[in-house]
Structure 1
Amino acid sequence: MAKWILGLTGGIGAGKTTVSDFLNRLGIVVVDADIVAREVVEPGSDGLAAIVTHFGEQILTTEGTLDRQALRETIFSDEKEKLWLNTLLHPMIREQLLAQLTRAQSDYVILSAPLLFENGLEQYCDKTLLVDVPVEVQIARTCKRDNSQRQQIERIIEAQMSRADKRDKADFILDNDQPIEAMHKQLNTLHQTFLQQAAANHA
């Protein structure tokens, strides 16, 4: 893959989507792992058929779509089921991501994934950018956004790679615990750096 790919990641509530939307408005194609993960289990997909065969019809909503809440509850407390699901879906998601990255047409391409490092997706990226905020900010923002319980968000954060480890792994870090204007300014500067690196890569 000759394209220059930026891996974008950040914990829940860090503001990864705000960053990818901003760069998308500047003409950069974003391949989003969350969207692809939904596409591989849409009605009619092989992914959904396999899940229904394994877990039964009760894993579907009345409309015939995947009941994500029911699935989350089923696998959250059962490591074996979680492993089964990951073994099924990860290769499907990876194949779709790589296909979309290959088709993308822009000066560089963003691979946006909350579990970029956890799932080894950084191997497909030239550089990685971590959107970072303190854990307390993550919790407060997500509670407000999703109307979720604090304990539930803490569990999700605990299940992800630690903030310190992500900071160690990332090539670039964007502080998103600052006024939006300051964040946009920092992001604009990073965008110029990415354009230069992508151009050098093609030279």
Structure 2
Amino acid sequence: MSQFVIGLTGGVAAGKTEVTRRFEALGITIADADVAARAVVAAGSDGLARIVAHFGSGILLADGQLDRAALRERIFSSAQERQALEAITHPAIRELLRQTCEQAASPYAIAAIPLLAEAGGRQQYPWLDRILVVDAPVAVQHARLMQRDGTTADLADRMIAAQASREERLALADDVVVNDGHPDHLQAEVERLDAVYRRFAA
């Protein structure tokens, strides 16, 4: 059971997945907010029942699964609807992440939370012992989005602008991994931090 938990965050295309993959390779349990977000709205879940109660059965597919496209349409056309969805899903996601971290067999656990700054930071996640930010310059994020996802320059701009600023994320950080283009340099950084976190956890 892990009593020491690191919150890992970073902007879109900053390299969070690459960094978490390297921690995982060192035997560290990763609780992923994206995985938790899917689990809390799975068919038959309490979360999905509450979403249907609020949004109506029109947001279900024929097989009882959530129609993500229909829901996305609703929440992006109304800030009020987006807040209603977040009020249903965010507490459940936080609880699932906390449970996964607590049950981890590794010396410490990592909660990978892409929107940590947007979701209220330490205030909403008081059980995080440290926060690690994977940071990349905006120009690098922009180039990666266009290259990786084939997005237009305009869409890349909007995706970056929709998130917390780089400064807001860095203000949360206890530790920072700069990922500006050299994946080899990431391994040494992850190994260094792993040693630090194992010491803290002990």
The TM-score normalised by the length of structure 1 is: 0.88
What CA distance in whole angstroms lies between the structure 1 residues aligned with 2:43 and 2:158? 29
The alpha-carbon deviation at position 145 of structure 1 amounts to 3.1
Aligned-residue Cα RMSD (Å) equals 2.0
Q: Does 1:51 align with 2:51?
A: yes
Whether the aligned pair in 1 keeps the contact of 2:121 and 2:172 (CA below 8 Å) is no
Equivalent residue, structure 2, for 1:128: 131
Query: Helix, strand or coil: the match of 1:85?
Result: helix
Structure-1 residue corresponding to 2:145:
142
Residue 176 (structure 2) pairs with residue 179 (structure 1): no
Tell me, which stretches of 5 or more residues in structure 1 are unaligned?
Answer: none
Say if 1:64 and 1:142 are closer, same or farther in 2 by CA, change over 3 A: farther
Q: CA deviation at 1:108?
A: 0.8
Structure 2 distance, partners of 1:178, 1:167, is: 19
Q: Deviations over 1:35-70 (max 9, x none)?
A: 101100111112122222332333234443222233
SS of alignment partner, residue 35 of structure 2: helix
Tell which deviates more after alignment, 171-180 or 134-143: 134-143
Once the two structures are overlaid, the 10-residue window that deviates more, 33-42 or 73-82, is: 73-82
Alignment-derived partner of residue 162 in structure 2: 159
CA change 1:147–1:43 in 2 (3 A) is: farther
Distance, in Å, in 2 between the alignment partners of 1:132 and 1:18 is 12
Q: 1:2 to 1:24 in 2, by over 3 A?
A: closer
How far 1:4 sits from its partner (Å)?
0.9
SS at match of 2:177: strand
Would the alpha carbon gap of residues 27 and 137 (structure 1) be closer, same or farther in structure 2, given more than 3 Å must change?
A: same
State the shift of 1:121 in Å: 4.8
